[in-house]
Amino acid sequence: MNALNVKNISINYKDITKFSIKRSLFKRRKSKTFKALDDVSFSVKKGEILGIVGQNGSGKSTLLKAIAGVFSPDEGFIDLKDNSVSLLSIGVGFNKKLTGLENIYLSGMLLGFSEKEIKEKEKEIIEFADIGDFIYKPVKTYSSGMYSKLAFAITSTLETDIILIDEVLSVGDINFKKKSYNKMKELISDKNRTVIIISHNLNSIKELCDRVLWLHSGKVKKIGSPEEVVKEYTEFMNKN
């Protein structure tokens, strides 16, 4: 049974360049568009772990944000099969003026959890994040490491049906990397949970994932077993 279907989605970005406001008021201006995703289709089975690889700018993060509902496709559609979904990505989801504790409740409610459900998990989230008194300070004062710790703690503790992970396993100190990696393996062992991971760490992709999707210039170049796809992707990168 599929947990997620992505069918022929395309997303276009407008190429914004410097221009004169005065001239733009009196002259119609042609804007160029950049196709971040181009006719992308794939399915993910319930309980499957899908890895996504590709060069910077290949559309990986755009794809996860589209699945999470941050972006709407210009073409095609995404069917979540009524599953709840959460996106774990640095720079996404927090109100930087609010404290870490306030963001725990904000993030949880945006994921569909009640205040009571979040309250029950509050202590566990704070202990996992392990950022001390910074939990009571505005997120704008956080380092990228503290940000990633809190983001991971929230998403991995308030568990949704589908978890989307964008490179956060590579952020943080050695102890947090080990703790987050072990937590990921724990989540993955639950066959009812579906996970999609973006990572440049190809060893992690091969170890954690059931299948791998290779994106190149916004298109699906290949999808298959981790060993096969990572091997071809590595050879391609070495040549180019």
Q: What dihedral do alpha carbons 214, 227, 160, 107 form, nearest 10°?
A: -60
Question: What burial class does residue 189 get, using C-beta atoms within 10 Å of its C-beta: 0-12 exposed, 13-18 middle, 19+ buried?
Answer: exposed
Phi and psi at residue 134, in whole multiples of 5°? -65, -20
**How far out from the chain centre does Cα 108 lie?**
16
Is the predicted pLDDT of residue 16 greater than 70, yes or no? no
Q: Which CATH class is domain 1-17+34-83+194-240?
A: alpha beta
CB-side neighbour CA atoms (13 Å) of 200: 10
| For range 55-71, the mean pLDDT | 93
Ramachandran assignment for 239, one of left (phi > 0), alpha (psi -120 to 50 degrees), beta (any other): alpha
Ramachandran assignment for 46, one of left (phi > 0), alpha (psi -120 to 50 degrees), beta (any other): beta
Nearby residues of 230 by Cβ (< 8 Å), 6 or more positions away? 53, 202, 205, 206, 212
Is the predicted pLDDT of residue 54 greater than 90, yes or no? yes
Average pLDDT over the chain, rounded to whole?
Answer: 88
For the entire predicted model, the pTM comes to 0.80
Pick the range with the lowest mean pLDDT from 47-51, 92-96, 199-203: 92-96
| For range 129-143, the mean pLDDT | 95
pLDDT score of 97:
95
Determine the longest span between alpha carbons in the chain, in angstroms.
60
| For range 84-112, the mean pLDDT | 86
Pick the range with the lowest mean pLDDT from 45-49, 148-152, 187-191: 187-191
pLDDT tier at 173 (50, 70, 90 boundaries)? confident
Is the predicted pLDDT of residue 125 greater than 80, yes or no? yes
pLDDT tier at 144 (50, 70, 90 boundaries)? confident
